[in-house]
Structures are given as C-alpha cells and as structure tokens.
C-alpha cells in the first residue's frame, strides 16, 4: 500500500492510539500533494482527540482539586487572611496555569470550559473525541450556552450536533447564536437588555504611540456607525491613504470635528453613496410581532426581534422585499443577460450569502466581487452563464482571483440547496452553504 493510500485510509478512521502510531510511521517525503492534505486533516483529527482527553483531565482537576494547604499555618495576627479561607483555598487555576505556562485567566477559562463540556455537553465532547469537530467549536458551544437553562441548552446542542461537523469555527459561532435566539427568544431579549445597560467606551494603549479606541454598543448601532464611517471615508479625495486609514480618519472627524450638514444638502445624504445603509433580513411575521424568532443583521448575525423592529420602524427606513423559499428558507429571485447584475439582483445575492462563498472565508459579502460561477459569455450572452442569483456568488478579491486564474480550483453551486462545492488542486472537495433565514 502506498503512503498516499495509507494516509487516505487513516483519514476515514476515528482517531485512536493505534492510528496515532500509524501516523507517526508515515514518511511525509513520500506523499503527493493530495496525500499531504490527507495527513494534515488526520493530524487535526488527532489534535481534537487529544484535546477531548485534556478536557476530561481538566474537568477532573476542577472537580477534585487536591488541597495541600495546612490550615494550621495561619498568617500572623493582623494580616488579611484567616484559617477558614486558607483551608478552602482552591488552587486549581494556579496549578493549571503553572503546569501549562498559561496566564491565570486563560487557565481559569480552560477549567470552566472543560467543566461545562464534561457536565452539560457529552454529545459535543464525543464529536471532539472522534475528531469530527475542533476544540474552538466545542468551546464556542459550551461558552455561549453557559447562561442558558439545561432544557434550552439541550435544544441548542441537539440542533448543532448535525451542523458542526461540516462547519468552520466562525460559522459555528454564528450558528450557535442563531439557535440560542430561536430556542430562547425571551431570554435573548433579557440578556440583550442587560448587556445594553453595560454599554461603554474602551481605550487601550498600544505600542509606538498608538491607542485602540472603541465602544461596546448594541449591534444595530455599531452597524449604523460602521456604515456612517465608510460613507464619510468615501468623501475623501484619492490620496495616498489606504481605505483603512481613511476610515480611521473618518471616525475621528465624525466624533471630534462633528461636521454639520446643511438643510440644503439633505437630498445628497439620502441618495447614492451618501446614504448609510443598515441591512436587516427579517421574516414578515416577526416584523409584525406574530413571532419572536431572530432576524439577521448583515455583518453581525442573529439579533432579537425587538432590535429588528427598532431598525425597521425607525424614521426614514426603506423596506425592500426579499422572498424566501418556504421549504428551505433560502432567498430566491432573478434577472439574466447583462454582465453587470442589476441592483436588485446584487442585493439579493449579498443578502442571501452574507459572506465570501469560499468555505474558509468570512469576508462580508458587501466587500466582495460578484462572480459568475459559470462564466459569462460576452460574445453570446444567451449561451454562457447568466447573471442571475443562482449563477452568482460573492467572492473576496483573493478568492475571486483564485477561482478565475488558478487552473486547479473549480466550483459548482446546487440551485436547490444553495450549497457551493469547491474542488481543490489535490481533488479534495469542500462545501459551503448560505445562511438559512428560517430553520
């Protein structure tokens, strides 16, 4: 059996001590490009397997910390300590921090996450041990469900068990948030109200005379701010500043210089690039208050029904209807034979996919190019790929170039599910599905 065949066989087996030993015997120098990708995937599976074992150990440490303190060795009179406190001192965090060379706060988080996974998420821990998901995915589920009741946690985990093995960590984060909103809409409203009361500005010193300034705000306000900053940055002349530099300067101008718009310029603010656009996709029954499920805020993810209604019914809001397919929850619509998509078609694709369609990329769709999956025929438009949503996908510039110019990368899209399938130069396939607005 060749090294490539052995690597492919290992990829199809659950990780274990035996497969780890076999992996160690592989000669990487004898592998083809395809074989090296298989070995990389097998190594990642074994890392998940080992991290599941570490979770078991950390949970045991958290539950059964050995207390070696001698309660008779009490500090001298007047010192701020007593025998009872010393006798109950929990050293688990310090032990783990020292053993793993971690900061105390990181060690404490590891212990807390391990306890949650061991006590509340055995099924997720099983996926981790089987190499089917990564530790960041398991941690995301445990941490985000921390504040939920056992019943709601069970509903969220049950919905995620079939999703996580095919998701990247960033997709799992958004998907878990969405499931929490669906399973516990009242709790989501309450937690949002609590976090809203905790809103604040932040300022952190950085190296070389720089500082980071920002704020923790409701998501719909940050979306409006981001659009306002981008709109103001677009008014700057084409100089040697990058877009990021212009956006940073625009934020400073808007806060410190506080430009005042004249009444006569109102028309300019309402048209073209001058208008700040915040896109929310919300089912009609939720908009009317019949249902309390989540809505989707572009660039953020699920928000509460109350937040969506606040945006929808704000003065000056413009509504645009986007139709979803009842059976699948996917957005639908179309228009065909010109190379450049109509504004309606572009809006449809951006709202449908939300991010770059490459499986590992989280570039927001509004910052991507709209790519024809089946190439457009400029000489005979009716014979090439049409300019309709089913043949369009958002791709960031890097992945657009990869798809267009690299002969080894191919992509197809299933019009029924909206799932794109990418084939790599090593002939591995990777899938990426668009968000489903009603699950």
Residue 259: pLDDT band with limits 50, 70, 90: low
Task: Identify the pLDDT of residue 339.
Answer: 59
A 10 A CB-CB count for 337 gives 13
Residues 253, 254, 260, 266, CA torsion sign = positive
Please, where are the H alpha helices in 2-121? 3-11, 17-24, 33-63, 83-87, 92-100, 104-120
Question: Which pLDDT score, from 0 to 100, does residue 362 have?
Answer: 83
Can you state the angle between helices 33-63 and 135-144, rounded to 10 degrees? 40
Residue 373: CB atoms within 10 Å: 17
Q: How large is the average pLDDT for residues 402-424?
A: 89
Per-chain mean pLDDT for the chain: 83
d(CA 431, CA 329): 18
Q: How confident is the model at residue 126 (pLDDT cuts 50, 70, 90)?
A: very high
Give, as one character, the DSSP assignment of residue 340: S
Res. 79 pLDDT band, cuts 50 70 90: very low
Query: Is the Cβ–Cβ distance between 164 and 137 less than 8 Å?
Result: yes
Using one digit for the tens of pLDDT, what is the confidence trace for 360-412? 888 889 889 999 988 887 777 677 678 888 889 999 998 999 898 888 899 99
CA-to-CA separations, 390 to 66, 310, 374, 376, 401, in angstroms, rounded: 61, 32, 10, 13, 20
User: So where are the chain's domains?
Assistant: 3-183, 331-432
Maximal CA-CA distance, the chain: 93
pLDDT tens track for 228-245: 999 999 999 878 899 899
Angle at 179 between CA 176 and CA 182, to 5 degrees: 155
| SS3 state of residue 184 | coil
Residue-wise pLDDT tens digits, 167-215: 999 999 999 999 999 999 999 999 999 999 999 999 888 888 888 999 9
What pLDDT does 331 receive? 62
Give residues with Cβ within 8 angstroms of 63, minimum separation 6. 115
Cα end-to-end span (Å), the chain: 45
């Amino acid at each position: 059996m060749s090294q490539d065949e052995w690597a492919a066989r290992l990829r199809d087996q659950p990780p274990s001590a035996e497969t780890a030993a076999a992996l160690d015997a592989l000669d990487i120098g004898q592998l083809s490009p395809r074989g090296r990708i298989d070995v990389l995937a097998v190594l990642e599976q074994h890392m998940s397997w080992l991290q599941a074992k570490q979770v078991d150990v950390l949970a045991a440490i958290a539950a059964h910390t050995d207390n070696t303190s001698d309660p008779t060795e009490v500090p001298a009179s007047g010192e701020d300590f007593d025998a009872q406190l010393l006798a109950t001192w929990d050293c688990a965090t310090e032990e783990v921090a020292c053993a793993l060379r971690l900061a105390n706060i990181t060690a404490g988080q590891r212990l807390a996450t391990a306890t949650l996974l061991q006590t509340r998420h055995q099924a997720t821990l099983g996926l981790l041990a089987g190499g089917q998901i990564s530790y960041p995915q398991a941690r995301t589920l445990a941490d985000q469900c921390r504040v939920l009741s056992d019943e709601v946690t069970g509903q969220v985990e049950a919905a995620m068990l079939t999703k996580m093995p095919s998701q990247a960590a960033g997709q799992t984060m958004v998907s878990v948030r969405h499931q929490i909103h669906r399973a516990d809409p009242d709790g989501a409203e309450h937690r949002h109200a609590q976090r809203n009361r905790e809103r604040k500005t932040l300022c952190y010193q950085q190296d070389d005379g720089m500082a980071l300034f920002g704020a923790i705000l409701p998501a719909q306000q940050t979306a409006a701010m981001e659009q306002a900053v981008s709109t103001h940055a677009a008014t700057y002349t084409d100089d040697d500043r990058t877009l990021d530099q212009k956006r940073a300067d625009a934020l400073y101008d808007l806060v410190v210089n506080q430009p005042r718009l004249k009444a006569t310029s109102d028309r300019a603010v309402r048209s073209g690039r001058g208008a700040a656009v915040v896109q929310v996709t919300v089912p009609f029954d939720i908009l009317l208050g019949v249902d309390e499920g989540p809505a989707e805020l572009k660039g953020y993810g699920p928000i509460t029904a109350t937040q969506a209604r606040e945006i929808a019914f704000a003065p000056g809001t413009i509504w645009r209807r986007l139709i979803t397919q009842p059976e699948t929850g996917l957005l639908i619509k179309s228009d065909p034979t010109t190379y450049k998509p109509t504004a309606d078609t572009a809006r449809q694709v951006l709202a449908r996919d939300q991010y770059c369609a490459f499986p590992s990329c989280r570039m927001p769709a509004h910052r991507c190019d709209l790519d024809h999956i089946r190439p457009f025929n400029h000489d005979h438009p009716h014979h090439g790929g049409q300019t309709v949503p089913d043949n369009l996908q958002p791709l960031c510039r890097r992945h657009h170039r990869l798809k267009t110019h690299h002969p080894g990368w191919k992509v197809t899209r299933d019009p029924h599910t909206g799932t794109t399938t990418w084939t790599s130069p090593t002939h591995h396939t990777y899938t990426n599905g668009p968000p489903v607005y009603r699950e």
